[in-house]
């Protein structure tokens, strides 16, 4: 039995692991990947100490720092925590590989993932015109008509990137545009961009690959079909909190509720980073929260002795 | 024995970098095609592999879209 299991190896989880190692806690760090969301962040200019660094490079540095403590922190990658339950004297973490790990305390730092539209065609055409990574797949749609779904910063950045690449972009948003004004200004003058505000996507259509989408005006209920070869879905993120949903309190949008000491309502269960209700989803914030959670877990374990 | 691994990438794609690092770390030689620049490779990926996502990784009769370490490990027999 470990003293501590940290679930998730993004900025929060890996920082927690370093702090746990420095307290000589016998720790297991378990995650499906190493790096989390920054792996898909191209340029980072607001993590102190680096005027510019790419996300994967920063996460590699985090990982190297965690792996400096092999006798204290065991790192297990390629497994996802499926469920967490209480047991006598601690917790049991069950993974998607059907392994069970036990610890006296747990830090849950599983981050967020892209939200899906949940419309017909979305799953079927993933990798065949539907994408959640505009920066990855944008160049594949050179000279084509595409749709960008969403109205926040990610959607606007995707639209801006495609202005130079695609023949035409349809920007479809459920709400008025909510992204930063600087991004709205960048896209609003483009001659090859049409904006559909207060429209919902009903269906992604095609044969073997995406050929179009069907959208509906929220007010008039009138439907329209748009011929597009690519659909870029950028409608925000959802917390990876399913594994502890039954155990602790989540807020309205599924984030784990914690107090300022990263405690959930369950003694011994802490949470940190983007999966929590702590405002501002930033790498520097997540790292700080991970540190706090580990120090708090250490205090909790001291009290058990 | 895997004969030939082809990986179709774009320069801004972080998953492509992760996939290439994984192949390199495991001593697997691969041929990379930048489909943002190479139109012939882009058409090959789209038509032959019916893929519109990167990385697309092809070897033997397998075609994987995206980087899923566990899946790639299994298919490559690592």
Provide the CATH number for the domain around residue A135. 3.50.50.60
Q: Is residue A52 a part of any domain in this protein? A: yes
Q: Is residue A85 a part of any domain in this protein? A: yes
How far does the CA of residue B2 sit from the closest CA of chain A (Å)?
Answer: 23
pLDDT digits (tens), chain B, 78 positions: 666 899 999 998 888 988 998 999 999 999 999 999 999 999 989 887 788 999 999 988 888 999 888 888 888 888
For residue B39, give the DSSP letter.
Answer: H
Please check whether residues A84 and A136 belong to one and the same domain: no
Residues A75 and A88: their CA atoms lie apart, in Å, by 25
Q: Is residue A146 a part of any domain in this protein? A: yes
Please check whether residues A265 and A204 belong to one and the same domain: no
Q: Is residue A285 a part of any domain in this protein? A: yes
Q: Is residue A205 a part of any domain in this protein? A: yes
Q: How many domains does chain A fold into?
A: 2
Domain, as residue range, for A30: 2-114+237-304
Give the residue carrying structure tokens 């990438």.
Answer: B9
For chain A, the average pLDDT equals: 95
How far does the CA of residue A164 sit from the closest CA of chain B (Å)?
Answer: 13
Q: Is residue A10 a part of any domain in this protein? A: yes
Q: What is the pLDDT of residue A178?
A: 94
Please check whether residues A167 and A73 belong to one and the same domain: no
The closest of A133, A138, A119 to A215, measured between CA atoms, is A119
Strand, helix or coil at A144?
coil
Please tell me whether the peptide bond between B55 and the residue prior to it is cis, using omega within 30 degrees of 0: yes
Give tens-digit pLDDT for A97-131. Answer: 899 999 999 999 999 999 999 999 999 999 999 99
Give tens-digit pLDDT for A15-47. Answer: 999 999 999 999 999 999 899 999 877 678 899
CATH topology of domain B5-76: Glutaredoxin (3.40.30)
Q: Is residue A122 a part of any domain in this protein? A: no
Is A126 close to B53, i.e. CB distance below 8 A? Answer: yes
The closest of A122, A104, A110 to A5, measured between CA atoms, is A104
pLDDT band at A203 (very low <50, low <70, confident <90, very high): very high
Is B14 close to A138, i.e. CB distance below 8 A? Answer: no
Give the best residue of B16, B37, B53 to mutate against chain A (max A CB count within 10 A): B53
Q: Is residue A276 a part of any domain in this protein? A: yes
Last residue of a domain, one of A205, A233, A261: A233
Degrees, nearest 5: CA angle A293-A297-A303? 150
Q: What is the pLDDT of residue A41?
A: 76
Residues A154 and A34: their CA atoms lie apart, in Å, by 23
Last residue of a domain, one of A233, A251, A270: A233
Please check whether residues A228 and A241 belong to one and the same domain: no
Is B66 close to A139, i.e. CB distance below 8 A? Answer: no
Last residue of a domain, one of A210, A233, A256: A233
Residues A74 and A234: beta-carbon distance below 8 Å: no
Q: What is the pLDDT of residue B3?
A: 66
Give percent of chain A with pLDDT exceeding 70: 100
């Amino acid at each position: 039995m470990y003293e501590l299991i940290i679930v998730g190896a993004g900025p929060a989880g890996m920082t927690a692991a370093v702090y746990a190692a420095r307290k000589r806690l016998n720790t297991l760090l378990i995650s499906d990947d190493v790096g989390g969301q920054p792996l898909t962040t191209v340029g980072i200019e607001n993590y102190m100490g680096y005027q510019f660094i790419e996300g994967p490079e920063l996460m590699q540095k985090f990982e190297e720092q965690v792996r400096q403590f092999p006798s204290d922190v065991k790192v297990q990658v390629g497994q996802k925590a499926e469920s967490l339950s209480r047991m006598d004297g601690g917790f049991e973490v069950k993974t998607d590989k059907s392994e069970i790990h036990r610890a006296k305390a747990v830090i849950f730092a599983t981050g967020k993932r892209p939200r899906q539209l949940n419309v017909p065609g979305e799953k079927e055409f993933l990798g065949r015109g539907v994408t959640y990574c505009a920066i990855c797949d944008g160049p594949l749609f050179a000279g084509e008509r595409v749709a960008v779904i969403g109205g926040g910063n990610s959607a606007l950045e995707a639209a801006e990137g495609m202005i130079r690449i695609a023949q035409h972009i349809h920007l479809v948003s459920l709400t008025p545009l909510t992204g930063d004004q600087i991004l709205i200004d960048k896209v609003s003058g483009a001659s090859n961009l049409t904006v559909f505000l207060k429209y919902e996507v009903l269906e992604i259509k095609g044969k073997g690959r995406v050929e179009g989408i069907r959208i509906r005006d929220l007010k008039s209920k009138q439907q329209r079909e748009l011929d597009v070869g690519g659909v870029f879905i950028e409608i925000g993120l959802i917390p990876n909190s399913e594994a502890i949903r039954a155990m602790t309190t989540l807020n309205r949008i599924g984030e784990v509720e914690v107090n300022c000491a990263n405690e959930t309502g369950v003694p011994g269960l802490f949470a940190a980073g983007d999966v929590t209700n702590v405002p501002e989803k930033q790498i520097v914030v997540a790292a700080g929260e991970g540190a706090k959670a580990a120090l708090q877990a250490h205090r909790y374990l001291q009290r058990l002795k | 024995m895997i004969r030939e691994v082809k990986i179709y990438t774009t320069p801004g794609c972080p998953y492509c970098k992760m996939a290439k690092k994984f192949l390199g770390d495991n001593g697997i030689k691969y041929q990379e095609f930048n489909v943002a620049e190479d139109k012939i490779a882009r058409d090959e990926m789209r038509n032959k592999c019916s893929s519109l996502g990167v990385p697309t990784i092809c070897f033997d009769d397998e075609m994987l879209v995206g980087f899923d370490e566990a899946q790639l490990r299994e298919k490559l027999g690592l």
